[in-house]
Amino acid sequence: MSTAKYWYAIYTKPRWEKKVNTVLERKGVEVWCPLQKVRKQWSDRKKIVEEPLFKSYVFVRINNTERTNVLMTDGVLNFVYYVGKPAIIRDEEIEVIKKYLSEEQATISIQSLNSLDENTRIKVNHGIFMDSTGTVVKGGKKKVYVKLQSLEQVLIVEFPLEHVTPLY
């Protein structure tokens, strides 16, 4: 059995991301639930709260022998599968998200890959995503969609037009 550790995405019950993160940490599993600050408004007050970036997803860095332990955790539904196997997330993908979220005023919104029509391919020429390529969706003049292939998700990051160059 391989002892190499890889990042995997796991599905959680809805709104259980933080609970699953805490339980897995107590079990000694390397886990990451990316959070971003969001301003919420109630009828009597405004408050900034931390919400999971990926709804119903938590990332774990484990080897094959730890998979059963993760699956037996309350709130965990299953691993995210890609081509019939648990999807391995590249370390670089995790690091890019961590770096971006550490920036002040960083905001990312998530859309399912299935809801997007691919159009113009671009290259980012400025900032944390420099040299990354993405796809611009028609009608979105300032948004670049950077695909995380192993997650079947798309990060939507808004850039000024001068920060992207079309690829031909």
Is 96 within the bounds of a domain? Answer: no
Q: Measuring CA to CA, which residue among 61, 67, 84 is closest to residue 1? A: 67
The CA distance from 35 to 65, in Å, is 28
pLDDT in tens, 72-107: 999 999 999 888 899 999 999 899 888 888 876 666
Range of the domain at 146: 109-166
Q: Is residue 102 part of a domain?
A: no
Q: Total structural domains in the chain?
A: 2
Quick check: pTM over 0.75? no
- Give a yes or no: residue 104 inside a domain: no
Q: 83 in a domain, yes or no?
A: yes
